Amino acid sequence: MQNTEYSIPIKNAILSILKKRQGLIIDRDLFTILQKMFDEISLKDMNRALMQLEIEGLIHVSQIAKNKRSVELIKPGQEFLAVGED
């Protein structure tokens, strides 16, 4: 398993991109932008960072089509229920 070190954490880059995009982006578009910032980023790297950010309560990722997800910045006071929490 390769653990690539980056000059800035991918998580910080994702948050910065989301802030510039009014808090919403499609995962494919996000990956394209990240590829320009980080030469050797993989989908696995991006997905790992997205999962960490979602666990930390900073973003919400939702499936909008079979191979398409939206990534949304969680605003202060906004919450998303986990599956089965309603």
The reported pTM is: 0.81
On average, the pLDDT of the chain sits at 87
Which residues pair with residue 70 across a beta bridge? 26, 62
Closest CA to 30 of 69, 4, 65: 69
Question: pLDDT higher for 11 or 81?
Answer: 11
Q: What are the extents of the domains in the chain? A: 10-73
Percent of the chain with pLDDT over 90: 73
Question: pLDDT higher for 37 or 1?
Answer: 37
Ranges 4-8, 32-36, 60-64, 81-85: which has the least confidence: 81-85
Q: What is the dihedral of CA 25, 44, 42, 52, to 10 degrees?
A: 60
Q: Which CATH architecture has domain 10-73?
A: Orthogonal Bundle (1.10)
Question: Which residues are CB-contacts of 19 (< 8 A; sequence separation ≥ 6)?
Answer: 73
